[in-house]
Chain A
Amino acid sequence: MKIRILLVAFLSLYLFSCSSDDDTSTPTPLGNFQDGLLITNQGPFNEGFGTVSFVSGLTTVQNDIFQTVNNDNLGNIVQSIGFSGNQAYIVANVSNRITVVNRFTFEEQARIDTGLDNPRFFIAIGNKGYVTNWGDGTNPDDDYVSVIDLTTNTITTNIPVAEGPESLVVSGNNIYVAHKGGFGVNNIISVIDASTDQVSTTIEVGDVPNSMQLDGVGNLWVLSGGNPGFIGDETAGSLSIIDLQAEEVFQTYEFDATEHPNALNLENGALYYYLNGGIYENTASFVDFSLPEEPILDGLNFFNMRIISNAIFGVNAGDFASNGSLEIYNLNTLELFDSLELGIIPDQIYIN
């Protein structure tokens, strides 16, 4: 949380000129890549490797920091990063590999390259890591979540799950897995009990759940994109709120039939998502919630988006065959603050 506070301090410094100078007690740095953002770049589709960029102070970017530090690459299609203590676990999808680095120095510490099959996302509880795997693309029945012993960096067991496990969140001793659907589509959240490493229940949500957020009062907000047109059974996007105690959806909001939102953010006590090139915001109380009608900002081309404090961080992948960019907007004035060149197909944004 400390890291987060520092970053927010940075944001305030840059996006607002009204900051005071009395908060300058910086602790000893843990590495060159502290107090900033880590952004994954998938890398070119067919050949080559993905990279990680480090953005500090909102104005400078260092691309491919893993290569710089280790003189090596992270593998093909860098999908995501998960964290545990001072370690970052960088998931390379096509290379079936996780590279373990120190999250602040980016020095490689280990590699996990056996037992993964189309890995997607990583999350840790204690000394166990959980990785979603799609298995073979055309086989809907071979998907699983790997359990990794983080002291030995080896897979101890695989938990078979339904098709297309994607992102994960942890609450208490439970891991919530959004089944976006892999190469097909799916509409469930699997709940894995970390004490037994088994799926304790599944909760049905809207089609293609793509992002999840905990609200701090015991609810999991799940944004579903809906079935895209191509499967011939287009469905509307939806927002589901799950009561984690009861393990059931208690509220669902439907979008219009052809609306497929993504990138759910809960921040500043407000809700944000991305839809058709626009950012939507609802600052109203969650108790009396309704979907916003109009975007606060429009005409964007974000592949993914993250709201942190008073800043909008959007990654623009351009034509997907050249370097993308990070576009930073001031959430209050909605003006473009900065645009920084990243690697090819920038994707996930993490606070470091």
Chain B
Amino acid sequence: MKYLVTFFTLLLCAFTAQAQLDSLQQLPEVIVSDVKLRTHTAGISIQTITDNSIQKSRTSLTGLLQTNSLIYLRENGPGGVSSPSFRGTNAQQTAVVWNGINLNSQFTGQTDFNTISTKNYDNVSVRAGGGSVIYGSGAIGGSVHLENDISFGNEFTNKISTGYGSFNTQLISAKTNFSKTKWHFDAAVDYQNSDNDFEYLDTDQSNENGEFENVNFNVNVGYLLEASTKRTQLLKLYHNTYIGDRNFSGTLTAVSNDAYEDQNTRTLAVWERLGKRYDGTLRVAHIFEQFRFFDNTDNREFFSIGKSSRFLANYDATITIDSKKKLTLSGEYNTITADGSSIEDQSRTVGSLVALWKHTLTNRFSYELQARQETVSDFDSPFLLSVGADYSIPNSTNTFKNTFSLNASRNYRVPTFNDLFWQGPGATGNPDVLPETSLQAEVGHTFSTKGFTSNVRGYYIQTEDLIKWLPDNSGIWSPINIAETQHYGLEIGFNYDKQINEHHFTANAQYGYTIAEDEATGNQLTYVPKNKVIISLAHQYKWLHTFIENRFNGEVYTTTDNTAFVDNYIVSNIGVTANIILNKSNVMVITGRLNNVFNTNYQTIAFRPNPGRNFLIQTTFTF
């Protein structure tokens, strides 16, 4: 893996040589990669985590979302497998969407949040609630969106960042961003490794076999074909490669010598034509995922492997009927192949049609209707529907605004290749398994005024035909559509922003109350905390920025009969960032953070302790 870093570092040096040529600053027009995420939001709550938070967090998606969202992350320790529970749903019911493309694994149906490096994205957004009509399988509890922006202008900036932290954690990343009136180019590489050998607090054990390293590479290109008063046409290319090599650490009761390699690449090409009446977007993408699992990290001759390759093409046609009515029709075609040690050369084709209707009835009221139908080669896919509405009441002087929203949708999660075709030791896939479906509804209220927003949402989700792997009479594990669950809960959030002279204060607090029950037993689902609270405070004075992040996680049950649980915990992190402006175009940013300040001994998964107090220092040089 080290050769890759060297390679990309060299690549970047070639650009820095030209750094001084274009120092003119212009405000570029930012072109987002996923227009639907911004425009089709009726009745939905979207929280965008800013670049600022991304930069000061650990580089994994787990670290970012743990402290910035209400998603509960079940993490097998730092670097280990990490899966989300969003509104009490399971890991397969949260979609991860990269520049508009659903990334969830064809094998497991989920995304390991520790295999997503957040450093190279401009926006990370959390979209709560059902989104299967637009984003497809798995957007039941919600979805997490990773986006790269493309901008034209006259810009040339470079960033190099290095970091060092406890347990011999090393980070290095570099990014270059270059744009002209017709061109955009950015490339970034992000590498991290860690011995990750922290002590288990209150024991004489430590985290053995936990070391990991990974490299993440992005390149994004935009080219403006035409920019006239009649229409704009542009071409965009997005690429991301992630290569990870990690050992799977043991637990308090078991040692481990397992290891795991991930190799994922995603490439997306887009042709966009934007007009007054008609927008057309053609997207072609290739998504490749491969894993190799080693039983014994010291003997890598033996492993099991799985790889899948997916091609997709889709076309979105958006017709602007008048300033208040918009109709979008999309057609998409996917062809997926998967092969590996336990799946023999299987393939699937998926065709889908999506219709989105958005109507702004009055200044205050808008609604949307959305529908999706798919045809899948190996099972029947349900018809999906979503309705949403927003009603805003500004006061007479426009100093504050109340918005009421309502959304209801039917969503789904398709059986994975593992569910259908797995043929491995002690387990076999079930070709007759059906998609999981959910019906859900939510209501929300947002109050916003200068410097303050509050958000309250209540939701209800009912899922049917949940796929569970259970052993049959001869002890062979196989998936069946057995469980039904219901989820309901409340989410409350506050954001406060205040400028007093040269002091800038920000505060964010969120509380989630989650009930997620198996309908057969009435028991709370495992690893779903009933309560989660996050509170973060930040203060900026001139070049000095300080912050504190706190999170409280309620206890979680670890058995389906709710007899065993992992204790609740509070973890706090503090940090300081210094922005040292060297000259007009050269900025040095130094961030130091102390995680788990109070040395709390906590677990998100039973018998897998997390690190005690630990630090991370990062230096970023922009030029």
Contacts and interface: CB of A to CB of B under 8 A. Distances in A.
Interface of A: 44, 46-49, 73, 75-77, 92, 94-96, 136-139, 182-184, 225, 228-232, 260, 262, 275-277, 301, 303, 317, 319-323, 344
Contacts of A184: 425
A225 B474 contact: yes
B559 A44 contact: yes
Contacts of A46: 251, 605
B599 interface: no
A236 B251 CA distance: 39
Nearest to B474: A260
Contacts of B475: 262, 303
A48 B607 contact: yes
B424 to A, nearest CB: 7
Contacts of A77: 254
Interface residues of B, number: 38
Given A47-B607, A276-B473, A95 B560 contact: no
Contacts of B563: 322-323
Contacts of B426: 230
A77 B254 CA distance: 9
Residue of A231, A319, A320 with most chain B CB atoms under a 10 A cut-off = A319
Given A75-B253, A232-B423, A303-B475, A138 B558 contact: no
Given A47-B608, A322-B563, 6 more contacts: A47-B607, A232-B423, A260-B474, A303-B475, A317-B471, A321-B526
Contact of A228 (B253, B428, B606): B428
Given A47-B605, A139-B302, A276-B474, A319 B251 contact: no
A51 B303 CA distance: 31
B295 A230 contact: no
Interface of B: 251, 253-255, 294-296, 299, 301-304, 344, 422-428, 468, 470-471, 473-476, 526, 558-561, 563-564, 605-608
Nearest to B526: A321
13 contacts: A44-B559, A46-B251, A47-B558, A47-B608, A137-B295, A225-B474, A228-B476, A230-B428, A232-B423, A262-B475, A276-B473, A276-B474, A321-B559
B564 to A, nearest CB: 8
A47 B556 CA distance: 14
B432 to A, nearest CB: 14
B605 A230 contact: no
B83 to A, nearest CB: 12
Contacts of A183: 425
Contacts of B428: 228-230
A295 to B, nearest CB: 12
A49 B302 contact: no
B295 A139 contact: yes
B14 to A, nearest CB: 43
A76 B559 contact: no
Contact of B302 (A76, A94, A136, A323): A136
Lowest 9 CB-CB distances: which A-B pairs, in order? A230-B428, A76-B254, A322-B561, A260-B474, A47-B607, A138-B302, A136-B295, A183-B425, A322-B560
Contacts of B474: 225, 228, 260, 262, 276
Given A47-B605, A184-B425, A323-B559, A94 B471 contact: no
B606 A277 contact: no
Contacts, number: 96
Contacts of B304: 138
Given A139-B299, A262-B474, A277-B473, A47 B251 contact: yes
Contacts of A228: 428, 474, 476
B299 A136 contact: yes
Contacts of B560: 319, 321-322
A232 B429 CA distance: 12
A154 B255 CA distance: 20
A231 B344 CA distance: 11
A230 B423 contact: yes
Contacts of B253: 47-49, 73, 75-76, 95
A334 B304 CA distance: 46
Nearest to B257: A136
B606 A47 contact: yes
A75 B295 contact: no
A162 B295 CA distance: 19
A49 B606 CA distance: 10
B250 to A, nearest CB: 9
A48 B561 contact: no
A137 B425 CA distance: 10
A94 B302 CA distance: 19
Q: Which of B254, B303, B304, B344 has the most CB of A within 10 A?
A: B254
A136 B304 CA distance: 12
A92 B253 CA distance: 10
A8 to B, nearest CB: 29
Contacts of B561: 322-323
B254 A94 contact: yes
A229 B474 CA distance: 11
A301 B472 CA distance: 9
Given A47-B607, A319-B470, A229 B476 contact: yes
Given A48-B607, A321-B560, A323-B561, A139 B254 contact: no
A264 to B, nearest CB: 14
B466 to A, nearest CB: 12
A317 B610 CA distance: 30
A184 B423 CA distance: 11
A168 B351 CA distance: 54
Contacts of B296: 136, 139
Contacts of A260: 474
A259 to B, nearest CB: 9
B283 to A, nearest CB: 38
B255 A96 contact: yes
Contacts of A139: 295-296, 299, 301-302
Contacts of A277: 473
A232 B295 CA distance: 23
A228 B471 CA distance: 12
B255 A344 contact: no
Contacts of B473: 275-277, 301
A297 to B, nearest CB: 14
B523 to A, nearest CB: 9
Contacts of B255: 95-96
Nearest to B294: A138
A75 B254 contact: yes
B210 to A, nearest CB: 15
Contacts of B468: 319
B292 to A, nearest CB: 11
A320 B470 contact: yes
Contact of A44 (B422, B424, B606): B606
Q: Which of A92, A317, A320 has most chain B Cβ within 10 Å?
A: A320
